Amino acid sequence: VAKAEGRACFRFYNEEMNAQAVEQLKLEEELRDAMRNHELELRYQPQVDTRTGEVVSMEALVRWKHPDRGMVSPGEFIPVAERTGQIIELGEWVLAEVARHCQYWDSLGLRPFTVCVNISPLQFNQTELPVWIGEFLDVSGLAPERLELELTESAIMTDAETNIEKLRKLKSIGLKLAVDDFGTGYSSLSYLKRFPIDTLKIDQSFVADMESPDGAAIVDAIIALSKTLKLSVIAEGIERFGQLDYLVRRGCDLLQGYYFAHPIYPEDVPDMLCQNFLTELQAS
């Protein structure tokens, strides 16, 4: 009986896996078309300086306007693109689009602000990344100091010794570097100290969990670590005043989340830059 059940289980598992594989394959093909058919778009989410209330930076976030399925979330297609290698082309498109938007904002005479761009592990692992970005900046005319790369903790901690050199090269171009989703990977503190990074980005899962003592303790620890290492610290996923209040009191430098704004269209960036959130921040 056990054997028969085992087999049934195995078949079920297989069919499920098969359906998943078909779905992935379909998504992969559609993503190829999406890039060709201009179905991808960028949104920008503001990051607020807790001392001045000013929007000092924006994170570029990719969106896929699928012809039949509507908006497909990056949480769904980025992992597929990462597995198939399409993320390389996608990542190049994102940077080119950011450069184009910066040119547009500059033409309106907006004050300069930093744009943060997510770099996937596969992109980061390319040996030629620093050279490619250097050339991209030359050709596009985008000023390096306007660009901050968001790297994941696991990407930079895997093969850390080699990565120090790569991070140094990226820094020497003049870029800023942030560690995204910080706290969810396994950081070696000794490497963290040696990496030429600028910013730690507290993962939103800790912010969501901040009302619990454990969650608050983790947030406290990351902020303390950032002060010790003289890094700037940002918290993402701020949705409620209580979270803002706590993080401001703890000396978090920057905040990002729906409480301030959802990711917005590039056309709405000028208005967003005029906003000041100091009143909200000082209420705490």
The binding site for ligand C2E (CB under 6 A) comprises 45, 60-62, 73-75, 78, 91, 94, 118, 120, 150, 180-181, 204, 236-239, 257-258, 263
Residue 72 touches which of ligand C2E, Mg ion, none (CB < 5 to 8 A by kind)? none
Q: Please count the other Cβ atoms lying within 10 Å of the Cβ belonging to residue 166.
A: 18
> Does residue 30 interact with Mg ion by CB under 5 A?
no
Query: β-strand 55-66 against 254-256: which pairing, if any?
Result: unpaired
List binders of Mg ion among 108-137 (CB under 5 A). 118
d(CA 281, CA 52): 9
The distance of closest approach from Cβ of residue 153 to Mg ion in the complex, given in angstroms and rounded to an integer, is 10
* Cα pseudo-dihedral 218, 78, 147, 257, rounded to 10: -50
> Contact region for Mg ion (CB under 5 A) — 10-18, 69-77, 173-181, 184-192?
173-181
H-helix segments, the chain: 2-36, 74-84, 86-107, 121-125, 129-140, 153-157, 160-173, 189-194, 204-208, 213-228, 241-249, 269-274, 278-282
Among 150, 170, 246, 253, binds Mg ion (CB under 5 A): 150
Closest CA to 90 of 55, 51, 117, 54: 117
CB of 206 to Mg ion, least distance (A): 11
Shortest Cβ distance from residue 74 to Mg ion (Å)? 9
Q: Which two tokens stand for residue 265?
A: 């269209």
Tell me the closest approach of the beta carbon of residue 34 to ligand C2E, in angstroms. Answer: 13
Tell me the closest approach of the beta carbon of residue 158 to ligand C2E, in angstroms: 16
Of residues 44, 180, 182, 202, which one binds Mg ion by CB under 5 A?
180
Q: Which residues form the interface with Mg ion (CB under 5 A)?
A: 118, 150, 180-181
